[in-house]
Amino acid sequence: MTTNATDPMIGRMIDRRYRVRSRIARGGMATVYLATDVRLERRVAIKIMHGHLADDQAFRERFIQEARSAARLSHPNLVGVYDQGAEDDTAYIVMEYIPGITLRDLLQEHHALTPEQATDILRAVLAGLASAHRAGIVHRDLKPENVLLADDGRIKLGDFGLARATTANTATGAALLGTIAYLSPELVTRGAADSRSDIYALGIMLYEMLTGEQPYKGDQPMQIAYQHANDTVPPPSASIPGVPPELDELVAWATARNPGDRPADAREMLDHMSGGLQRATGQYRTAVLRPENATAILPSEGPAARTPSSVGSAPEDDSADATTVIDRSAGAAPVGRGRNQPGPRRTGSQPGALSPAAQRLADKSAKRRKRGWIVFAVIVLLALVAGTIGWVYGPGPLGNVRIPEVAGKSVTQARQLLEAQGLRTAATTARRFDAVIAKGEVSATKPAAKREVQKGTAVQLVVSNGPRMITLPAIIGQPESTVTAALDDDFELQDNRYQFSADAAKDTVIAATGRDASGPVDLGTATTYAERGTVTLTVSLGPVPDVVGKTVDEAGATLEGVGLRLGSQDQKYDDQVPEGQIISASVADDPAVQGSAVDVVVSRGPAPIQLPDVHDKTINDATSTLEGLGLKVSVPDCTNILCGFYDWKATLPVTGTDPPAGTTVHRGDTITLAYEQ
């Protein structure tokens, strides 16, 4: 398992609302994290689509479809969906957090479950699935991994990642979706799925709960798929003696290869479990009505109507399953089961008179009709009462409504939205700090938004005081890692800025900026700052390297090593810097950042000089002229004895130079003067 420390999502704030805390699970399409909704201060599970799928439009639409499908459903046995959105091309779903384990974890720990445990879990899953089927949603990925067993005993069905409307029930693409071990035969062979496909998967899950293993095994997925399409799931009792026959029959019914032989949906299967498994078979009799010959099955109420065995009076037949033929125009003529008896004999001379046995049957029928009218009247009355109660507690004054989402609204707007739902606003408001909602706007409600309450309930508005002001730690001159750790829990750190600085050591913070309603904030001088406010740190890269005296190649390598580049290269004569070395360097950008160019001036060596003609000038004048050009002058000593009696350098003329006039020389070169002694 990959640790949280290597997951870049840990600690990230999604949509400025959901702080990711830790990883819960990872699937083929997404990873589920535990997060905190900082606006409502509650734990949630946030499902984030894998980054490598972001460019796949089909996966992205399927992921959004899960949120839309699940958001349409509201049932105690279904995982609730709170929110859905996208950030930086990454889609996410915010769901109810269910601390606990999955059914797969329970099976791995206990292998097989008792019939009572299996049916309890199956009933809860069926109840939630029935809500989905009623809304026209087919789950398509039912398996133990998607059944959540909460620590407080709740059982929830989640992960509608493959859910589709029943009106679009054909699988697309070359590959079948869903786990192969739970795919129905029609999904394997035709790629078609409806609510009965979910029932098949539940049948496989029930078999696995009762036996601890799946009915079909194979080394390759296609081997298992072939068995689903061609074999019949064996009864669980064949593997685990003692499994009740009723559960064998339920598994057989749910996993029938022909979809038409299965329950139509989860509601039918749940109703069967609630009554059909426990109800004893009743006794029935058949009444045939003439002339329409319509047949009705009526529950027996004891001995059947007595029928004569011959013309006139005779011992009565006690059969409970007798067939009675009734003529609507002339009373009823009982006929014994399995006999061919004539109809009842009319007695006396009065037209239409019935025999005593027929008269008793007619009287009994009249009483039943009277009772039927009474029952009908009671049913109508109960329906009216139920309808009235339903109206009162539904659309009426005592009905339940969901508290609307008013976060971010003004107090006046929030009151209007609550009153439109038939709710009252509490006389007093509460206040709290909120890092997201602006001061003076509604931050939350008590009870919380989306809670179902009775109409007329007083809802208290919680008004935002704005973000909490937090004392800032020392920032300027501190190491980058120290400042980041100190600010990360309370503020939103933006990407750091980096620049070269001659006054700060590398990796120390030289500036910090934030923003409030009035504009930018210098956090280097501020003492407090708003919670969850944005912070941008400017970090020193150290001084720009000194490249003076280096060659161009040496300077280029040095600058490239710190993220700078060599810019323009001017050339200049320099008497002090050798040719090819850099005389000076300057950065074009201020401040210098990585990628900035450094312009340099490269020495061409000393400037060339054309030696002037100093012929006939006195030695002193010639010396002055040449030294003024930066040249050195050498004058041979005068050996004439007379030179000791006067200033011969101021008097004797120069007769030549070495090198001669017109020669190209450079500053610092030595010129020797010639003169006549």
Any idea which residues carry the catalytic annotation?
Answer: 141
Can you tell me the distance from the alpha carbon of 592 to that of 563, in angstroms, rounded to the nearest whole number? Answer: 10
Question: What DSSP assignment string belongs to 603-655?
Answer: E--SPEEEPP--TTSBHHHHHHHHHHTT-EEE-PPP--GGGGGS-GGGTSBEE
What's the rounded Cα separation, in Å, for the pair 188 and 575? 90
CA distance 52 to 89: 11
Q: Cα torsion at 628, 630, 634, 638 (round to 10°)?
A: 10
Can you tell me which residue has the tokens 């290269």? 569
Residues whose CB falls within 8 Å of the CB of residue 311, separated by 6 or more in sequence, listed in order: 342, 345
Give the position of tokens 């923003």: 515
Buried b (16+ CB within 10 A) or exposed e, 393-404: eeeeeeeebebb
CB proximity list for 555: less than 8 A, separation 6 or greater: 547, 566, 582, 585, 598, 600
d(CA 540, CA 317): 110
Distant-in-sequence contacts of 412-416, Cβ < 8 A, 24+ apart? 413/442, 414/442, 414/445, 414/461, 415/461
Count of Cβ atoms closer than 10 Å to residue 251 Cβ: 25
The Cα–Cα gap between 530 and 516 comes to 8
E strand or H helix at 57 = helix 57-71
Contacts of 624 by beta carbon, 8 Å cutoff, 6+ apart: none
Residues 6+ apart with CB under 8 A from 496: 480, 536, 537, 538, 539
Those residues with Cβ within 8 angstroms of residue 282's Cβ, 6 or more apart along the chain or in another chain = 299, 300
Query: Nearest-CA neighbor of 267 among 259, 279, 275?
Result: 275
